Amino acid sequence: GRYYYRHGSELLPMQARTITVLSKTATGMARKTFTAYSTQHGPIVRKLGDKWVSVSLMRKPITALIQSYSRTKAGDYAAFRKIMELHSNASNNTLFADSKGNVAYLHSNYIPRRDTSFDWTVPVDGSNPATSYRGLLSFDETPNVVNPRNGWVFNSNNWPWSAAGEDGPQRWAYPRYVETGVEETPRGSHALRVLGGSKAWTMSSLTAAAFDSYLPAFERLIPRLLQAYDGAPSADSLKARLAEQAATLRGWDFRWGVASVPTTLAVYWGTHLLARVAPAALARHLSPQTYIAQGATPGELLGALAAASDSLTAAFGTWKTPWGEINRFQRLNDDIAPRFEDAGASIPVPFTSGIWGSLASFGARPWPGTRKWYGTSGNSFVAVVEFGDSVRAMAVTAGGESGQPGSPHFNDQAERYASGTLRDVYFYRAQLQGHTEREYHPGE
């Protein structure tokens, strides 16, 4: 009369409870009742073949709130480090700096201790006691970096092993499950290139580095394309058709810009190619870009370039379209689900998606009814901060601070966002003089 699940040599009763969900319909409120099941691993959330899948999640909401808030009040690294002992930051890594000169890369703060004989990137066998919860890795067992010799730390949604360049944590010293990256990302490679070139950082030089226009992914991939083109038979009709495109990419310096036609052609080519090779790359446990660099066939490489050229010509009349005419920033309203239209006002954005290695990231694509690409991810907020006797900072927010389309501050930072021209941040009352539109006190 009830479900059981196997755990080692035992059969344990599955927990069941009834959940009623209310939803709004055209005729009023509707009720739907579900039976929810769970094991010691957590609630059942789906099926995989004939197996039920349970998920084990961190459930420490109060501790997570305390940690999230109290770390904003930490006065130095020692206080911040103590707060990290709460181990309830499950989602992301943290970069730390203070006025005493401490810098740190702190890896994901909530990492369950796991048996390394299992592949934890996929569901594991819950009937095996070796997959049960075994507590957490301690702070010292996690790949953190504190005050490295080189004087800097970074992260760009890449793996932790290069967090301080050559002074980063050693991959062999940690269990494989602490991160899931298969290689350094193009953004990580780019960051290492700009950070390793200087030690005398200023606010302006760091800002310039953050908007460096180099696209390392294409410096890696375009030579494979040109090799395929050069190796194609001279009688191949595709070779003649792509001659001008190949020449355009051959002379490119791998840097983005609003007037850059090679950027347009490369991004369209790469986007078409990634869609084609993704299944094969997954089957070989490679990143799509590594698969392209190592295993994509000449037919795949050249076919994607032809498809990219056709797509551009169909949308814009020619494949020789500057990147800024396609890649646009537009803010029509403040809705969660964005709306875009080519007839509306928009501005060109020179940088690209981070998948090509752009540190200034702008994830854009065409939307229903548009030919141009509009961005919804990437750099939403950029800041450069200097710690000392006082705090100095410059920053920019995508669009503007206001959510009201009629406000002058709804879209007044868009040009700054696209150009990387950061504004001053006013921390102190004296800085506000001449920059205050109105004052408000709660209750007024």
pLDDT tens per residue, range 287-325: 888 888 888 899 999 999 999 999 999 999 999 999 999
> Structure pTM?
0.89
Higher pLDDT, 248 or 338: 248
pLDDT tens per residue, range 8-61: 999 999 999 999 999 999 999 999 999 999 999 999 999 999 999 999 988 899
DSSP per residue over 252-270, as a string? --SB--TT-HHHHHHHHHH
| pLDDT surpassing 80 at residue 90 | no
Q: What is the pLDDT of residue 198?
A: 78
Q: Which residue has the tokens 């602490």?
A: 178
Q: What is the pLDDT of residue 320?
A: 98
| pLDDT surpassing 80 at residue 197 | no
3-state helix, strand, coil in the chain (%, to 5): 35, 20, 45
Mean pLDDT of 234-263: 96
Q: What is the pLDDT of residue 89?
A: 85
pLDDT tens per residue, range 362-386: 999 999 999 999 999 999 999 999 9
Residue percentage of the chain with pLDDT more than 90: 84
Comparing CA positions, the residue from 322, 347, 351 lying closest to residue 262 is 322
Mean pLDDT of 257-285: 92
Instruction: Please count the other Cβ atoms lying within 10 Å of the Cβ belonging to residue 315.
Output: 17
pLDDT tens per residue, range 98-115: 989 999 999 999 999 999
Mean pLDDT of 70-86: 94
Ramachandran angles phi, psi of 41, nearest 5°: -80, -25
Mean pLDDT of 262-290: 90
Instruction: Please count the other Cβ atoms lying within 10 Å of the Cβ belonging to residue 22.
Output: 8
pLDDT tens per residue, range 154-175: 999 899 999 999 999 999 999 9
pLDDT tens per residue, range 46-77: 999 999 999 998 889 999 999 999 999 999 99
Judge residue 66's burial from the number of C-beta atoms within 10 Å of its C-beta, 0-12 exposed, 13-18 middle, 19 or more buried: middle
| pLDDT surpassing 80 at residue 440 | yes
DSSP per residue over 205-241, as a string? HHHHHHT--B-HHHHHHHHHHHHHHHHS-TT-HHHHH
Higher pLDDT, 209 or 199: 209
- The residues pairing with 391 across neighbouring beta strands, listed in sequence order, are 387
| Cα(159)–Cα(147) distance, integer angstroms | 18
Judge residue 436's burial from the number of C-beta atoms within 10 Å of its C-beta, 0-12 exposed, 13-18 middle, 19 or more buried: exposed
| pLDDT surpassing 90 at residue 200 | no
Output the average pLDDT for the chain: 94
